[in-house]
Amino acid sequence: MPGRWKPTKAVNAENYYIVATAPNDSSLQVKISGPYLTRQAAKADLEAAIGEARDIDPCASSYRYSISKLESRKPGVIQHMASHS
């Protein structure tokens, strides 16, 4: 159809996220940052994301952080908060 908008790039269903896991309950996990297209991009942002999480919640120092490839199109907590400020 002429004039119909077409996206130039498909959104990935699976992306990399920086995930925080609670120290006393490994089933409690929160995506704090992402999505990232590559593991290297997430790794490059890891220290900054942990610092921002600690600024938001001082208890975040006790969390365990990892990079995981997850099926999701939703932003991590840090990106979500930034988009609403």
Measured CA to CA, the distance from residue 45 to residue 52 in angstroms comes to: 11
Q: Measuring CA to CA, which residue among 28, 4, 12 is closest to residue 71?
A: 12
Q: What is the mean pLDDT of residues 55-77?
A: 90
Percent of the chain scored above 70 by pLDDT? 85
Report yes or no: 21 and 67 within 8 Å, Cβ to Cβ.
no
For residue 78, the model assigns a pLDDT of 78
SS3 26: strand
State residue 21's pLDDT score.
95
pLDDT band at 32 (very low <50, low <70, confident <90, very high): very high
Query: Taking the chain, what is the end-to-end CA distance rounded to the nearest angstrom?
Result: 38
Break the chain into its structural domains and give their ranges. 14-72
